[in-house]
Chain A
Amino acid sequence: MGILRGITIGQHYPVDSLLHRLDPRTKILGTMVYLVALLGANDPLPFLAVAAVTVFLCTISHIPWRLLSNGLRPLRYIIIFTFVLHLFVTPGGTLLGQLGRLAVYSGGVWRGAQLAFRLVLMILTTSLLTLTTSPIVLTDGLERLLAIFKPLGLPAHELAMMMTIALRFIPILIEEADKISKAQIARGADLESGSLLQRLQSMLPILVPLFISALRRADELAIAMEARCYRGGEGRSQYIELSFSRADKVALLLLSLGLVATLGNMLWSWFSNGV
């Protein structure tokens, strides 16, 4: 289960910084605008602008770069794969080299690098959101943002509660998976070697008990919650107080500007490509 250890998405790193102090709602909205901007940034200039914003945010977050880069490590193969795939399949630009039937064009290098970097930036920023916001504040912020859609039938409270419970049980299940795999190894299971298929097969005796245990836990938790007077979001009050500070207002203003710039950029490139 070593794979799960390095993941920084979902981890909280409590230090003091401007980003830590922002209201979770600001940060969630910010991440959304950021992701739209990132997906819309196809040309070099907007892309560099988004990258610069990322570096700026990481710097003011007071989170060590090592921690941030550690978060990329579990996904390094996917990043490399993205690069290599686009390197070979994207035509355009000048021919740089040929390997049998595979040709590499300069357009492929740019496209591959861009998509790989886009992944890197995406992971960095989403981990930045959770690293600077405690899970509980994050879910509270999410619940209150989603509450806008409640009249449309969106179960805002239930979604936030599901997220809280998932976050609560992830460390427990990781620990349990660790225990089960040790027990299986002690019984002679070989989890490390063999082909991919063999390794997946040897994971089965770990996943099945883990799944059963998770179901049992869910059942017990539901009863315990009911015993503590839980009956959904109705008539519930909230322990955590959220309020927009001056910094939040400034950040939201900047966000709106960013959103306008993003949409402007997207429209412009759409029109210029279309004509």
Chain B
Amino acid sequence: MTSKYEITTATLQGDPPGKEQPLLPFIRLREVSYDYPTSRQGQEEFPALRDVSLDIYLGEFLAILGANGSGKSTLARHLNALLVPDKGTVEVAGNLSSDQLKRFTIRQLVGMVFQNPDNQIVATVVEEDVAFGLENLGLPRGEMQKRVAQVLQQFGLWEYRQLAPHLLSGGQKQRLAIAGVVAMAPQCIVFDEATAMLDPAGRREVLACMRQLCQQGHGIVLITQQVEEALMADRVVLLDEGRIATTGTPEEIFRQIDLLQRLQLEAPLLAELSWRLHGEGLLSEHRLRNPVEMAADICLSKRKI
């Protein structure tokens, strides 16, 4: 029998570049399929997830990108045992989610932030909401107080600790939701379209939090329909009708404008521009770059013509 943590070829394929990698995948999905029991059978509908295999590492920033109904949320809910696969396995740090007794451990290891901050804040006071998850873990009061104070300061909510959550701004509320998750000290945090309901300022706040958490060594899984957000990831997984269409670095993914269009995703503006200019023969090469580089490349190409 091979060791549980042995590296397979599948894990090597998606190695994020430029980062020191722990050897073992933290979350490991093997041929996961899932169909909602309530979904209409017999019609031409596909199951929510089909044969999804994916490895997620600590310290990595992974983006999962897909159109509406492509199965992103379903996949997210498998990562912390809110859903258990019909077929295949999900393993978090060696704990199988099919094992009822391990689910509590798995949820402790993998935190989850949802789209609507209003619907995930439980308590009527900021401070107490952060403590909600800690109470569930059964931590002693002193430890709770320490952690609550620490995360409230980390996320800039210390002054608001006695306030009712509905008095906070959208970005602050979502930061509170994140703080509540981070206080539980998970290793990996999944954000299921956690920026979708925020204004640009709130979105920037939350994205900054994610980056900070990733730098601290957490695994970050960012689920989004916003292609621009996926640009900051180390690795992007494209989901289509419950299947993984492709994975790669943002660079690799966003070069494939036709694929993005087929999956009803908007390409990043600069990628699309580069692709069109390349099609017109104004750019010799189609790749992802910033505006300054692009301008320089256009000048260079023109001179050559």
Contact = CB atoms under 8 A, between A and B. Distances in A.
Interface of A: 14, 134-136, 164-165, 167-168, 171-172, 175, 217, 220-221, 223-231, 235-241
Contacts of A224: 112, 114, 119-120, 122
A227 B123 contact: no
A247 to B, nearest CB: 22
Nearest to A230: B136
Given A168-B121, A168-B122, A223-B82, A231 B136 contact: yes
Contacts of A168: 121-124, 165
Given A220-B120, A224-B114, A237 B141 contact: yes
A229 B108 contact: yes
Given A229-B136, A237-B144, 10 more contacts: A171-B164, A220-B120, A223-B82, A227-B114, A228-B132, A228-B133, A237-B140, A238-B141, A239-B148, A241-B141
Contact of A136 (B124, B138, B144): B124
Q: Tell me the interface secondary structure of chain B in the complex.
A: helix
23 contacts: A134-B124, A135-B124, A165-B122, A168-B165, A172-B166, A217-B116, A217-B118, A217-B119, A220-B116, A220-B119, A220-B120, A223-B77, A224-B114, A224-B119, A225-B132, A228-B111, A228-B122, A229-B107, A229-B133, A230-B133, A237-B135, A239-B128, A239-B148
Contact of A229 (B116, B119, B125, B137): B137
Contact of B107 (A136, A164, A227): A227
Contacts of A237: 134-135, 137-141, 144
Contacts of B36: none
Interface string B75-108: 0010010100000000000000000000010011
A50 to B, nearest CB: 31
A7 to B, nearest CB: 16
Contacts of B108: 229
Contact of A239 (B104, B124, B141): B141
Interface string B128-162: 10011111111111001100100000000000001
B184 interface: yes
A214 B82 CA distance: 22
Contacts, number: 97
Contact of A226 (B82, B128, B184): B82
A175 B166 CA distance: 10
Nearest to B117: A224
B180 interface: yes
Nearest to B148: A239
B238 interface: no
A221 B122 CA distance: 8
A229 B110 CA distance: 10
A112 B134 CA distance: 52
> Looking at A217, A223, A230, A239, which has the most chain B CB atoms within 10 Å of its CB?
A239
A228 B133 CA distance: 5
Nearest to B83: A223
B181 interface: yes
Nearest to B129: A168
> Looking at B77, B108, B132, B181, which has the most chain A CB atoms within 10 Å of its CB?
B132
B124 A164 contact: yes
> Looking at B135, B145, B181, which has the most chain A CB atoms within 10 Å of its CB?
B135
Contacts of B112: 224, 227
Given A136-B128, A227-B111, A164 B122 contact: yes
